[in-house]
Structure formats: structure tokens, C-alpha cells
Amino acid sequence: MSQQPLLNLEKVNTHIDQFHILQNVNFTVKKGELTLLLGRNGAGKTTTLRTIIGLNPPTKGRVMFNGEDISAIPPYKIAKKGIGYVPEDQGIFYDLTVGENMRVAMMKEDDATQKRLESSLELFPDLKKFWKKPGGQLSGGQKQMLSIARAFVNETDLLLIDEPSKGLAPVIVEKVIEAIEKIKEHTTVVLVEQNFYMAKRLGDRFYILDDGLSVHEGYMNELDENEELKRKYLGIG
Amino acid sequence: MELFINLAINGVAMGMLIFLIASGLTLIFGLMSVLNFAHGGLFAWGAYSGVFFYVLLDNFWLGILLAIVTGILLGWITEFLIVRPVYGNHIRQILITLGFMLVLTEMLKVVFGPNIINAPTPEYLQGSWMIGDITIIKYRAFIIAVGLILFIVMYSVLRYSKVGLVVRAGVMNKEMIQALGVNIKKVFVIVFMVGSALAALGGALFAPSSGAIYAEMGMEFGIFAFIVVIIGGMGSIPGSLLAALLVGMANTFTAYYVPILSMVVTMLIMLVVLIFRPQGLFNVSGVSNK
Ligand SMILES: Nc1ncnc2c1ncn2[C@@H]1O[C@H](COP(=O)(O)OP(=O)(O)O)[C@@H](O)[C@H]1O
Ligand SMILES: [Mg+2]
């Protein structure tokens, strides 16, 4: 078996307009793991995910996915290579129904996609219940579930999820955690999360970003014991 | 009463023609956030090529068909040459598309001559039906029928087909639809060509109803279409239809009863709508420039 990582950001620099947001970020994701991307507000976590999916392509450095350089290809091609994206604002199409949101996301109409659709609906029964309801009328938690299901309905090798617990009540957060635990069994995940409880439950490895720099990486249990790291970069403790 | 009904029918027919230009424009506006002031030029080119090929080939339907083809080709050229370099920059879009509008208008004069050209109506669409005291001009009924059919087709395609879903989703959130594996640039080009074809079809249908065509007509109808898009809510096809009918009716009625107002009535409607519903009559929620 090759030891090649599934995703590898090599000294990635990203500018938004004239602002230099990511600076030489290194970030490696191994197949089958859930890698956390942590850091304060404004650290560059969202920008990192947007750089991977191609919405803010790097100005310098490389993004390698499955051994292929994807830094210069458009987002739709990156998505087709097997990267699913659940953005911070969920990206729900408000006027489209839940069903239409799912349908518009389905890249193929084969049996495998149909199977994944069914299992997403088992995972999130609310989506089935509100199948004909416009996406804009869902609750925050339901929008999050729709966004995850929409990314998961395609054959993905990697799922990028940006702060899924944001603004959700603890009961709903619990549901989202359970869902991601199941999804984790099928696909590699990069999870941005400020909720440390959720991070601890789900994460295998972690990276910490600060001011656009990758400042730390390690296994989740190491982070949990490292009070200084938590205090300095995550504002916990 | 008869007068009222006759005027109303005229108004609806005019509204349908405006709808054909506005429907393409609203999609271009809503999906790509492109201010295309050259759109009216496609209408004029549609009118000219419709008349030209009708007379040349002695076949009204072939004229319509070739006007649509002209619209598709010109739409493709416009997207590729004019609009593509200025995506995301409204000021440049206004300047370059206005400039291209003038080029399209002048090119018409170069190709077809500077004079007003007569536009014939096929015999079977001439004349009118009398129902009691109500006169229904056949060609107007024809325009209304075509407009309605196209509305239903467009609406159904947008509502139920996968392509339609993609376009609607793209209007709401351009970034997300790409992150879901859709090549939005390809969709842009297709929508641009379809929108241009609709404008050209509108022109080709307009020509016989007015009896004469002239190069500047594109400018006049283009402005109408823009106002209709704003009133209807950008990106909304039903909104465009409703607004176009409103504007068509208002123009016809004021032109008859208070001619002095007919120039400003469209602006007045826009003003009133914008005061009470700044997002237009039909709001496509989540419209963003992302
Ligand atoms: N569109 C933008 N224009 C300018 N600066 C931006 C833009 N988006 C993000 N930034 C800046 O980039 C930095 C990182 O933002 P972001 O990636 O959203 O951080 P995080 O997700 O970690 O909170 C912040 O300082 C933010 O202000
Ligand atoms: Mg963020």
C-alpha cells in the first residue's frame, strides 16, 4: 500500500483581493481519518477549505489530491474528482425544495447514487419528512443536515465540513455528531469546528491555524492534554 | 366596453413581446449578474433577419426560425467577445455592452440600409375576427398564443428539468452550484444563447405587428425590457411575465386615454414598485453576486 496522503497542501498561499490570507500552509489528510482544522475566528480555516475546493485557488504552493495537483482546476472539476463541500453558511438553495436541493446536487443518476440518497434519508429522517418544503424554510439544524446529505449523495473520497455546529442547540449538535460519526465510516473528512466537545468526539488528528499559518498538528488525544495549546490558540481553559 | 377589451388585447400582445426580450434578460441578469445593454440589439437583429429571410425565402416560418438562429449566433459572439472579459464588473459591463449595442445598431444600417423597412404579415395571419363588437386582430392573438406557450415551456423547464434546477440554483448561489460539480460557465453560455434567441424571436414576431422596422427599435425595446426585469424581480420568469403585461397594458391604455403620459407611465410603475418592493414583484430569494 502506498503511504501517499489523500490530500496534501504544500506551502499553500492564498490571496483574497490584495489580502494575503494563507501563508505557507501545510496540511496533510490521511485516508480514512477525520482531520480537524482548528483555530480562532479569522485564522483562515474557511479560506483553507475554499482553497481546497477551488473557490479561492492558491496563488502559490500546491494542493495535491490523490497524488494529483488540483491547485489550478475549477471548482466543478475538483468536486467531480470526489471532494464534497459543506460550507459555513450551508449554501442551501432557498427557493428549491429539499428534494430539488438533493437532485441538483446528484452528479450521477446511477444505483449507487440512489443508494446513498436512501441512506442519507435514513440518517436524516427530517429531510424525508420535509422533502417538498423550500430549503429556506428549514430550521438551522435541518439546513445543516441537508447540506451534509447533499455533499454525501455523490461518491466522495473527501468531505469538507465547515463549522457544522455553529448556531445550533446542543440537542441538535448531538444529532449532527452522530451523523458525522456514521459518515466517517464511509469517507475521509476534514472538519472545521470551534465546538471543542464536538471536535474531541470526532477528531482523529488535528491542525491548528493561526493568522493564516499552520502552527501545530498532532493526534487529538495529545491536544486534549495540552492545556497551553488549547488556551493559546483555541481560547479554551 | 368593446374599446376596453380591444385595448386590453393590444396591451397583452405588447406585453408578450416585451416578455420575450425581458425573459432572456432576466436570466442573464439573475444568473450571471451581467448588465447586458446590448440585449435590445438582438431584438432588432431578430426583427431584421426575420423580415429578410421571410421575404427572401417567401416563408414566414423559415424567417422566424432563421431569426432565432441569428439570435443564437449573435448571443454566442456577444458572450464570448463582449461579456466574458467583464464578468463581475458592472461599470465595464454597462460601458462595453452599450458600445456593442451601438455597433449592432449601426451594423444593421450597413447590412440592410438606413431606411425604415416594411415588414409583411403572412396572409393567413392578416385581418381579424369579430366576436360581437369586439375585434380580435389575428396577428395579436398569434403573438399572445406564442408568448403563452413560451412562458409555459420556459417555466416548466426551469421548474422541473435538471438543467432548470441548475439554472435556478445558480441564480441563488453561484459558488455552491460549482462546488456541487456544475460547470457554471457552460451554463452561462447556454443561457446567454437562449436569452438572445428569445430576444431575436421577439423581434421577428414584433416586425409584422408594427408593419415597419428600423435600426433604433432595439434601443427602445431594450430599455423597456430592463425596466420590466427590475419590476418583475431579477431572475424570475413569472415576475417578468407579470411585469411585461403590466407595462404593456399601461402603455396601451395611456397611449389611448392620456397620450401625454405614455412616455412616463413605465417609469412611474417602476418607481412605485421599487418604493414598495425594492426586490421587484417576484423575489428570487438568496440572490447574490457570489
Ligand atoms: N472576501 C474576503 N475579503 C477580505 N478578507 C477576507 C475575505 N474572506 C476572509 N477574509 C479574511 O481572511 C481571514 C481568514 O478568514 P476565514 O478563512 O473566514 O477565517 P475562519 O474561517 O478561520 O474564521 C480573516 O482575517 C478574514 O477577515
Ligand atoms: Mg470560518
**Dist. CA A91 → ligand 1 center (Å):** 17
Is the CB of A18 within 6 Å of ligand 1?
Answer: no
A138 Cα to the center of ligand 1, angstroms: 27
Closest atom of ligand 1 to A192 CA is: 21
List chain A pLDDT tens, one digit each, 237 residues: 457 899 999 999 999 999 999 999 999 999 999 999 999 999 999 999 999 999 999 999 999 999 999 999 999 999 999 999 999 999 999 989 999 999 999 999 899 999 999 999 999 999 999 999 999 999 999 999 999 999 999 999 999 999 999 989 999 999 999 999 999 999 999 999 988 889 999 999 999 999 988 888 999 888 888 888 888 877 776
Ligand 1 atom closest to residue A88's alpha carbon, by position in its atom list: 21
Task: State if residue A19 touches ligand 1 by the CB under 6 angstroms criterion.
Answer: yes
Question: How many CB atoms are located within 10 Å of the residue B98 CB?
Answer: 16
- CATH fold label, B2-276: ABC transporter involved in vitamin B12 uptake, BtuC (1.10.3470)
Contact assignment for B181 to A79 by CB distance below 8 Å: yes
Residue of A93, A139, A42, A194 whose CA lies nearest to B170 = A93
Residues A185 and A32: their CA atoms lie apart, in Å, by: 8
CB contacts < 8 A (A, B): 72
Helix, strand, or coil (residue A188): strand
B176 near A CB under 8 A: yes
CA pair distance B290, B286, nearest whole angstrom: 10
Q: What is the pLDDT of residues A44-64, one digit of tens each?
A: 999 999 999 999 999 999 999
Identify which of A76, A85, A94 has the shortest CB distance to residue B172: A94
DSSP structural state of residue A42 = T
Return the SS3 of B200.
helix
- The pLDDT of residue B290 is 37
pLDDT tens sequence across A152-176: 999 999 999 999 999 899 999 999 9
The ligand minimizing its distance to the Cα of A39 is 1
CATH architecture for residues A1-82+158-169+187-237:
3-Layer(aba) Sandwich (3.40)
Q: Is the Cβ pair B181, A93 closer than 8 Å?
A: no
Strands A188-192 and A158-162: parallel
Identify the helix (H) or strand (E) that includes residue B59. Answer: none
Nearest-CA distance B52 → chain A (Å): 42
Residue A56 near ligand 1, beta carbon < 6 Å: no
In eight-state DSSP terms, residue B83 is: I
3-class SS at A11?
strand
Q: Which class for A4: exposed (0-12), middle (13-18), buried (19 or more C-beta within 10 A)?
A: exposed
By the 8 A CB rule, do A222 and A182 touch? no
Other residues' Cβ atoms within 10 Å of the Cβ of residue B211: 12
Collect all residues of chain B within an 8 Å Cβ-Cβ radius of residue A93: 168-169, 172-173, 176-177, 286
pLDDT at B285: 54
Q: What is the H or E stretch that residue B192 is in?
A: helix B184-210
Per-residue pLDDT tens, chain B, 290 aa: give them: 788 888 999 999 999 999 999 998 988 887 778 899 999 999 999 999 999 999 999 999 999 999 999 999 999 999 999 998 998 888 999 999 999 999 999 999 999 999 999 999 999 999 999 888 888 899 999 999 999 999 999 999 988 899 999 988 987 898 999 999 999 889 989 999 999 999 999 999 999 998 999 999 999 888 889 899 999 988 889 999 999 999 999 999 999 998 888 778 888 888 888 888 888 888 665 444 33
User: Where do the structural domains in chain B lie, given as residue ranges?
Assistant: 2-276
Type and span of the H or E element at A62: strand A60-65
ipTM of the prediction = 0.93
Q: Ligand 1 atom 16: the closest Cα is on which residue? A: A44
* Residue B19 near residue B241, CB atoms below 8 Å: yes
Tell me whether residues A76 and B285 touch, CB distance under 8 A. no
Q: What is the CA angle A154-A157-A159, rounded to 5?
A: 75
User: How close B180 gets to chain A, by Cα (Å)?
Assistant: 6
Q: Is A206 helix (H, G, I), strand (E, B) or coil?
A: strand
CA distance B175 to B66: 36
User: How many C-beta atoms surround the C-beta of residue A96 within 10 A?
Assistant: 20
Query: Rounded to an integer, what is the distance from CA A174 to the centroid of its chain?
Result: 17
- Contact between chains at B179 and A53 (C-beta distance less than 8 A): yes
Answer whether A79 sits within 8 Å of B180, measured CB to CB. yes
- CA-A163 nearest atom, ligand 1: 21
- Cβ distance A150 to B180 less than 8 Å, yes or no, reads yes
Q: Ligand 1 in contact with A21 (CB < 6 A)?
A: yes
How many Å apart are CA B239 and CA A57, to the nearest integer?
A: 37
> Cβ of A107 and B162 within 8 Å?
no
Question: Domain limits of chain A?
Answer: 1-82+158-169+187-237, 91-155
Confidence at residue B284, expressed as pLDDT on a 0 to 100 scale: 66
CB A141 within 8 A of CB A125: no
Residues in chain A: 237
Contact with chain A for residue B289, Cβ under 8 A: no
- Is the Cβ–Cβ distance between B137 and B252 less than 8 Å? no
Q: Does residue A41 line the site of ligand 1, with CB under 6 A?
A: yes
Contact assessment for residue B215 and residue B108, using Cβ atoms and an 8 Å cutoff: yes
pTM for this prediction: 0.84
Contact residues, chain A, for B173 at CB < 8 Å: 91, 93
C-beta atoms of A104 and B184 within 8 A: no
pLDDT of residue B277: 86
Return d(Cα A69, Cα A49) in angstroms, integer.
16
Atom of ligand 1 nearest to the CA of A50: 17
Task: Tell me which chain A residues have a C-beta less than 8 angstroms from the C-beta of B182.
Answer: 76
